Structure 1
Amino acid sequence: MNIGSKVRLLHGKEEGIITKIKSGKYLEIDLGDGFSIPVLANEVVLISPEEKKIAPVAENAAPFRPRQTAPGGVVASTAFATKGIYFSFVPINDREVVLHLVNLTSWQLLFTIYGRTGANTKGLASGVLTENQSHQVTKLLLKDFESWPVFETQVLYYHPDRSPESFILEHSLRCRIQSFHNQLQKAPLLGVNAHVYQIDASSPKPRNEKIEASEIRAKMLGADNDKVAQPPLQGRLPAQIDLHLAALNEEAAGLSNAAILELQLTAFKNYLEQAIAGGLAEITIIHGVGQGTLRQEIHRLLSKHPNVANYKDAQKEKFGYGATIARLK
């Protein structure tokens, strides 16, 4: 192998050109689109110039999907796949991963992906994905895991013969170390081990759909209220939440003090998890003064949460003694 040789990874489908040879054991491979990765020399094989003469393949062709046959050998129509958009973090070595966006749906997807760190946002990738295609988004260092950005994704769906349930998908992903390792599996389409997140697991509600207060109350008071799937965030999550019933669009009529407290705490828990997932650094919880029960419960939950760095009463001049500021990790 020499600089300029075209090679393929043994344990993946990536191909590239050797740009550097280090100590005879390590190679640097240019995968194209500005991506270069270091690999062991024994982890790649040379691509023979004869390969493309035997079976020429278009550079951006989607992988072949075999047609299904019904009993009797009749060709069955391929089902239209409405779900199957994934983020796959593919380990290249013990130091780096490459993030891929994978489309297993039958939609044509127009996508944009941004990385958000605090108040700063940086464009990472954009483009069009057709059925059974993937796109390399960015390379990430594992040593910088805690400072990885929040991955903000917007997807527009298109098909000449079908109309999607919702034309746009918005998704926000902040990787957490424990859940990241739990996501390790065989990556769809790529066929290698990767940390995989499905970003279209649930259908977003149309933006103009009104959610009735009775529906929210039923979900909050359900037996499994901690497991209730929250509707996806539309735009940037506000940095504060007001837990007064009027602000939550709830009424106290007919509710006991315990039921009111449960409503407020459930709203707080849901907001806190969304704030953490959304990458907010600091949040303000307006709980009021009252008898102090709600404040005490919120402080108790904050003190036990692994993603809360610290908390304190907010400035008296602005909120009196009725609010708490929490800093998130």
Structure 2
Amino acid sequence: MLFTPGARVKLVHTREKGVVVRVLDEGMVLVRLLEEGLEIPVAAEDLRLLEAAGQSAPRKSPRPGSERPASLQDPEPQFTRLKSEGILLAFVPLNAPPTEFQTFLLNDTSRHAVFSLRLRFGDQVEEECSGKLPAHHAEPVGHLLLDDLNDGPTYELECREDSTAGLGPLLQKSLKIKPKTFFKKFKTAPLLHKGAHLFPLFPSLDAPESPQEEDLPTYTRRRARPRSAPSDLYRPVSPYAPDELAAFVPEVDLHIDKLRSDWRKLSKAEILRIQLDAFDRFMEKAIRLGAERVFIVHGVGKGRLRDEIASRLLQMPEVRSFKNEYHPRYGWGATEVEL
């Protein structure tokens, strides 16, 4: 990339803006920072050329694949689209593996619009552009570096329909880009007809429908949790086994060495299954005999068995309450259950 004195540039890594003072030897460029007024040497590969005031050229020197295709100047749909995808933001990779993306604002509707778009990193507005967005049009609105994804870029868009009757309702959208979701949204972009990371913004240029107010009875019915049906596994209390209840020990120790002698040969999944089977049998007996309080000894460890037990207790309609608190006998390694 060639830089000339007076050219406006941006530092790739710090996103500071400056003006080229002169070109130095060994691929270095002397840049005067706009905010601080300092002059610092910067490697040419760490600079991006910004758009000069009053010019319509891209903010960087042309490169293969980054020029605006002639077909995007005044595109005409080549066939009737079955369904419009509305207003979208598309990020087209400029190289492989991708380290930089060209950003397009797509109007995949049959109506003209005007827009204002800002790229924000935290509280700092990095780029801002506005203008007309014709129907079936792809408007280039900037570039995004792969490294910028780690800084949480946020695009803020305001858009209105532009017709002979005047401007339509204001549509606003704030889109925060996250690396994980960014790479999951790669598909063929409408109008561009090439692969891009695609983010829908508005389904149309119409005002969004305001949600209907919901009365209290309807809200209560919608939010009410269905009552759990009694499980076939846990039978009603039998009043005919007083001797068995008297001999019942209200605790079960689920440590695997208490359940199996060959536990060292078992996998972690097999150990957990054996422990939960023992828990199910114990709870079935406790409920059948009418025990009022039992203790499930599961130990501390990483909490996997404790969490599985808590999940199952939540599904038992016979359980009044349970807690995993410090106990003078069991410490933190047991759950107390009231039936």
Bin for the TM-score computed over the shorter chain = 0.3 to 0.5
Q: TM-score with structure 2 length normalisation? A: 0.41
Based on CA coordinates, which of the two structures has the bigger radius of gyration?
Answer: 2
